[in-house]
Structure 1
């Protein structure tokens, strides 16, 4: 990073990085989606010229970042996954959604960012609650809107836009079929089995969607559907509605699948709640899924930065359990494994095969099963469908010993990870899933916090619900697994791995975890932790506690006041939480000690800097102890 870049704000540096990828960006007023700061022309003024980008964000350091999609060669599926009527999950059922760059919007929606096909125009609507954005723009991380922030869920390059995203280019005018043959057959199957409990408004919506999806060939299917039921929805009225329907692209296959949900999909039966007398509870010695690392009957979390190797470790553990292979020298309890993958399906297949090749094993007959798509655990119907699928499989191959949810973000559903209420709903869904199989371990794979790398991202309610938690951190070639919570056992010592490349027999390559060498690790402080240390020094100069010329520390209240003054939190509560975390982290890292609310830096260099800061021979800010 050069000196010119360092003077830019966080948003300015992000905008410059996007421009470096060839993306066309433009500034919008902080907290808005439409107030363009460049005046006439709006997002059409977007550029990838670094000098112009630098000039804009030097002038408006807090400006949001707009991305001109068409000019950048991108198309986005903008799914309102936080809305209950969003048709995204129904639409992609049975389709392969490529692993691509994904961003969460400020409201909790999801942006699936793909490479646009040259010379192609896209329809404006995919299905209910999902827009196709190409001629227009979106905001990019770390832009803000309505109190929320845009943030990337993955750090991948955009993949080519899937074939099942409808195009305008070359499409003939008129009522022709706009869906694939597989979708046509699935629609006809759903129509044949669907009950007619639709309101008149939804009945008309279904007609519009069918005409758009199937064209004139759908007329007979529509009339057959309506003729099965009495009343106004019989032949004459059905014919009139069909003949006057004018498809406009706002309803299609996804709308059909949403409207034709079965009663079981619409309403999930609640679980029973039982009570057990304490005298009937049986105690037994701990049983480990992985010796010394993970007990059975637990809920746990593995977190770390993107690209640190989390999924490699989760795959390694899963295959060890499924095959009975020791996990890096630790015995495992062999059993069925369910891997609920939200991303990287092709990459996971390569990792599984690399593991098998490295260990000299065949994957044929191994009781490990991967989902074809992500779950949406905040949605009751989606969560129940996962449970039903695992129950069905367990009846054939045995109860699961391990269920992996990779990652939390991709399987969360339409909600906000930072919301205590919605995180609580996700935890309840995890508990409900695991409770079906008493011996099972449920492991969640998650990202570390944006600013606080030492903890997992999102609401703290998650950590409180866990039985165990591990952080995976990459430094150079070393991947260090550190236990950060062990509810009912002694925390294990750190375990160090490295990634070793494996050339696959059928082409391509992947990697596997091998034992690594421990490195001398320096604690890398976050920006907020650095602010805590800086404000500590400032408070020490003004209000330090001294005893006969020796520096004894800083009173908590003096340090807090200086931190609040410098911290950029929008509310006093935000400043309070940030200071509490920083204070705890610096003590945990061995940077500070605390005695009777007096904090003393453990680094002699810090104390010396404070001692030497006086230029007139007096002790700065001398407060007798």
Structure 2
């Protein structure tokens, strides 16, 4: 391992960026979000930017090159969606650049390559296979285009990981470590596309170790009606290690018609159009934060169990208020599945999880965040609404 000494590095050297103040030149990150919010459209838009040097979400691209897209989920959509980026954005950018005397872009021959499978990253030997494939792609990218691969996308992490238990912190750490190793071996930034959990407020699905290990976390958010209609689309910059975060960049999903099919029906896809003039700055921290960071796992478990196990209940009789309550035992089980612990034996790990749940339950009750009561001989729990604690 190489030793780095203080005083020998340039103290004025800037961070190395792929996209200034948003994505590092190397490292690992996540683009997560709800279904229908345009996660893959967003990463394909980013791909178009790093291949051509066009700005991404109003940010300057600092390093251009090729893209390796690993698509174990939805690979059949890549050609038409990439064509949408070309016709909806890059062809016009190419014409504008040529008119201004800039370096040419060939929108019909981009440095973009994809594979339709991903060896399960939690399994032995998979990382070596993936690195070998990436190096083969990089050599051919250099031969064809004379550029390095600067961005590797895995869409989606869940499909490529091979999780036995997605809530396992150790399995999640294996996947994030594999993404980091792939970045080091290729010299590219590795970006995983991931889903949010059942409750969008709790962030990326699975173990909290996922976002904790990432250098960058971007979230594609939207408001979705019960009918599935999408509105208020925006990208939240949840985390950029060592840089500004906590703000949102609005965008629209614009429909692009690419032609007609054999039945003369229009072939359409979407592109992302960024509304950078409406970018929202970080909001000041509210004076009163009801749920502290230390209760994040507990809050996620509570939200999940209220969806899966919750039922309408009248804990104080028919004259009292109706609440959505779940069994405390179900909450305990969900919390223990998601709560990362270390221990030499399974018995010690189980004991640590039990104590962690007891502490979290007491802390939530002391803060007035939850209430508990025996209903029908079984202990139940529910969340106390704002203003009623």
**TM-score when normalising by structure 1:** 0.41
Aligned position for 1:444: 192
Is 1:400 the counterpart of 2:149 in the alignment? yes
SS of structure 1 residue aligned to 2:259: coil
Q: Deviations over 1:227-268 (max 9, x none)?
A: xxxxxxxxxxxxxxxxxxxxxxxxxxxxxxxxxxxxxxxxxx
| Consecutive unaligned residues in structure 1, runs of 5 or more | 1-273, 532-537, 540-562, 585-596, 611-625
Cα–Cα, structure 1 residues 581 and 429, in superposed 2: closer, same or farther, change >3 Å? farther
8 Å Cα contact 2:163-2:171 kept in structure 1? no
Aligned position for 2:174: 425
Aligned position for 1:514: 273
2:20 aligned to which of 287, 291, 301: 291
Is 1:381 the counterpart of 2:125 in the alignment? yes
1:493 aligned to which of 232, 238, 247: 247
Cα–Cα, structure 1 residues 510 and 566, in superposed 2: closer, same or farther, change >3 Å? same
SS of structure 2 residue aligned to 1:494: strand
Aligned position for 1:359: 89
1:471 aligned to which of 219, 232, 237: 219
8 Å Cα contact 1:338-1:400 kept in structure 2? yes
Report the alpha carbon displacement of residue 449 of structure 1 after superposing the two structures with TM. 1.4
The number of residues matched between the two structures is 292
Report the alpha carbon displacement of residue 580 of structure 1 after superposing the two structures with TM. 4.9
1:312 aligned to which of 41, 59, 73: 41
- Distance in 1 separating the partners of 2:57 and 2:335: 44
Report the alpha carbon displacement of residue 566 of structure 1 after superposing the two structures with TM. 4.8
Report the alpha carbon displacement of residue 379 of structure 1 after superposing the two structures with TM. 3.1
Report the alpha carbon displacement of residue 456 of structure 1 after superposing the two structures with TM. 0.8
8 Å Cα contact 1:302-1:471 kept in structure 2? yes
Cα–Cα, structure 1 residues 311 and 338, in superposed 2: closer, same or farther, change >3 Å? same
Cα–Cα, structure 1 residues 375 and 319, in superposed 2: closer, same or farther, change >3 Å? farther
- Distance in 2 separating the partners of 1:570 and 1:599: 18
- Distance in 1 separating the partners of 2:360 and 2:249: 29
2:57 aligned to which of 328, 331, 337: 328
Cα–Cα, structure 1 residues 468 and 326, in superposed 2: closer, same or farther, change >3 Å? same
Aligned position for 1:338: 68
Cα–Cα, structure 1 residues 600 and 407, in superposed 2: closer, same or farther, change >3 Å? closer
Report the alpha carbon displacement of residue 408 of structure 1 after superposing the two structures with TM. 0.4
Q: State which drifts further: 445-454 or 349-358.
A: 445-454
- Distance in 2 separating the partners of 1:390 and 1:316: 21
8 Å Cα contact 1:292-1:492 kept in structure 2? no
Rg comparison, structure with higher value: 1
8 Å Cα contact 2:34-2:200 kept in structure 1? no
- Distance in 2 separating the partners of 1:444 and 1:583: 34
**TM-score when normalising by structure 2:** 0.64
Higher relative contact order (Cα pairs below 8 Å, separated by 6+ residues) = 2
Paired residues for 1:213-612 under 5 Å:
274-279=1-6, 281=9, 284-332=13-61, 333-361=63-91, 362-396=106-140, 397=142, 398-413=147-162, 415-438=164-187, 440-451=188-199, 453-475=201-223, 476-491=230-245, 493-505=247-259, 507=261, 508-516=267-275, 528=302, 566=328, 568-571=330-333, 574=336, 580=360, 607=387
Report the alpha carbon displacement of residue 343 of structure 1 after superposing the two structures with TM. 1.8
- Root-mean-square deviation (CA, aligned residues, Å) is 4.0
Report the alpha carbon displacement of residue 298 of structure 1 after superposing the two structures with TM. 2.3
8 Å Cα contact 2:238-2:246 kept in structure 1? no
**Structure with greater proportional strand content:** 2
- Distance in 1 separating the partners of 2:301 and 2:219: 19
Report the alpha carbon displacement of residue 416 of structure 1 after superposing the two structures with TM. 2.5
Q: Deviations over 1:488-535 (max 9, x none)?
A: 111162011111111103641111011359799xxxx9893597xxxx
SS of structure 2 residue aligned to 1:431: helix
Q: Deviations over 1:283-336 (max 9, x none)?
A: 520232222222222211111122221111011101111121211322112112
8 Å Cα contact 2:135-2:186 kept in structure 1? no
Q: Deviations over 1:132-187 (max 9, x none)?
A: xxxxxxxxxxxxxxxxxxxxxxxxxxxxxxxxxxxxxxxxxxxxxxxxxxxxxxxx
